[in-house]
Structure 1
Amino acid sequence: MKRSGMRRPDPAAFIKANLPISTVPSIPEILLHTAGPASGLWRLAGREEAYPPPYWAYPWAGGAVLARHLLDRPETVAGRRIVDLGAGSGLVAIAAAKAGAEAVTAIDIDANAIAAIGLNAAINGVSIAAVAADIIEASPPETDLLVVGDLFYDPTLALKVMTFLRRCQASGIEVLIGDPERIYLPQDELRRIATHAVADFGAADRAAQASVFVLS
């Protein structure tokens, strides 16, 4: 059934009304608006190809392991400028802010994610600059640390992301990657620095091993 003629609701109002607030499995310090079976996300995300899938509506293992790592090791971000690439719900950005980052910018291509990040930052009592943009073809951002959670699920995207991360590294930006070792993660180019058992989307009832990596 085609619904493209239907008017989509305001993202922030929809998220408040339909995505309840809950703690993130394995990260009780953080609350997020998270989708459930009755959330009706199609009304917000649309069904057309032009609208990105609502990845932001769920915590993913790559983001969860990065968030856990930053909260456990606040010295990683304390007093530094942080950019969260493909920020989704804002989970990693929120963890960075809670851990004492000087400034945190969350970037995602989905405008609905930007609305969710604003709401999630507010319920966690942190300040985050949320930006809707696709920056992987652009020059490296002005930041000290770039964090990337779960962006290696697609072969084309994985190649583009790694090219961008190498440019960031060459410009002096530290890069941290969180991933449950999905198939397109280029592990031979990375060095593992931490591993945690965290929940993953679609498997929230059991823990998955996910790791934090730096570029080697």
Structure 2
Amino acid sequence: MVTDPEAFIRAQTAVARPALVPEIALHLATEITPIWQATEAWLGAEGIEPPFWAFAWPGSQAMARLILDRPAHAAGRRVLDFAAGCGLAAIAAARAGAALVEAAEIDPLAIAATRLNAALNEVAVTAVAGDVVGAPCRWDLILAGDVCYEAPMTGHILPWLRRMAAAGAEVWLADPGRAYVPREGLQELARLDVPTTRELEDRELRRVTVSRLLPDADPP
């Protein structure tokens, strides 16, 4: 049973700064297998999802960099970091002057990591536990980094994200070349090269495309 997720995260990670966003400090792991095994042992469960919260993935780094470089994208707005992982994009939005920042995650450890990381950077981020897909739109900007890596995930979230765009939200997809990113209904905002490691990816540099998701195209 999970009793103290923040203590577990502190014990299994070290404070580090993502390569593309050195302004932000995060509790991060250096290797995926040890943190994955430690998480399974701590939870007393096998076959769990990878600990996405323990890494600054390329999509989140690209969105965070873009927001810090162009803070007007987030300043004064209500922002959602969807499938937030470690909360990197949410923290960048808060630093850019967002009026409200929420970070949504279904993983309790990701929720704890987001709270720890927000406190580490002295910003206000509200961690929202659970699946927000289906919720009515209450945001001006929705950030979705690297979320189209599996067909079931993409099929679950993309129709809702398009509805959010139709309801007036600006929806960003940050994609480092995953298989299930939509090919239509995207307006490119920027391309950034993000350093990564072969521990996480099949190369040492990922080109991430940050696009605005449009409401007028059917999902694949």
Asked if Structure 1 and Structure 2 have the same fold, meaning a TM-score greater than 0.5 normalized by the shorter chain, the answer is: yes
Q: Which residue of 163, 169, 173 corresponds with 2:169?
A: 173
Which of 18, 38, 42 is matched with 1:24 structurally?
Answer: 18
What is the aligned counterpart of 1:13 among 7, 17, 37? 7
SS at structure 2 position matched to 1:121: helix
- Unpaired runs of at least 5, structure 2: 215-220
Moved more, 10-19 or 111-120: 10-19
1:91 offset after TM fit, Å? 0.5
Q: Answer yes or no: is 1:139 the counterpart of 2:131.
A: no
CA contact (8 A) 2:40 2:46 kept: no
Which runs of 5 or more residues in structure 1 are unaligned?
1-6
Aligned to 2:213: 215
Per-residue Cα deviation, 1:43-66 (whole angstroms, up to 9, x for no partner): 3455335x4431111111111111
Whole-angstrom CA distance in 1 between matches of 2:125 and 2:27: 16
Q: Are 1:104 and 1:128, in contact at CA under 8 Å, matched by a contact in 2?
A: yes
SS in 2 for 1:197: strand
In structure 1, distance between residues paired with 2:135 and 2:17: 35
2:108 is equivalent to residue 114 of structure 1: no
* 2-structure distance, mates of 1:8, 1:139: 27
CA offsets 1:156-187 (integer angstroms, 9 cap, x no match): 11122110111101211111111112110002
- Find the aligned partners of 2:12 and 2:60 in 1 and give their Cα distance: 22
Q: Which has the higher contact order (CA 8 A, sep 6+)?
A: 1
Q: Structure 1 residue 143: deviation in Å?
A: 1.1
The residue correspondences of 1:38-77 to structure 2 (distance < 5 A) are: 38-39=34-35, 40-44=38-42, 46-49=44-47, 51-77=48-74
Whether the 8 Å CA contact 2:193–2:205 is kept in 1: the answer is yes
Deviates more, 1:8-17 or 1:100-109: 8-17
Native 8 Å contact 1:64 1:199 kept in 2 = no
CA distance in structure 2 between the partners assigned to 1:181 and 1:159 by the alignment: 17
RMSD: 1.9
Contact 1:11 1:44 in 2 (8 A): no
Corresponding residue of 2:88: 91
- By how many angstroms is 1:8 displaced? 4.6
Hey, what does 2:217 align to over in structure 1? none
AA aligned opposite 1:20: A
Q: Which of 77, 82, 87 is equivalent to 2:79?
A: 82
Aligned to 1:196: 192
Q: Does the aligned pair in 2 maintain the 1:45–1:53 contact within 8 Å?
A: no
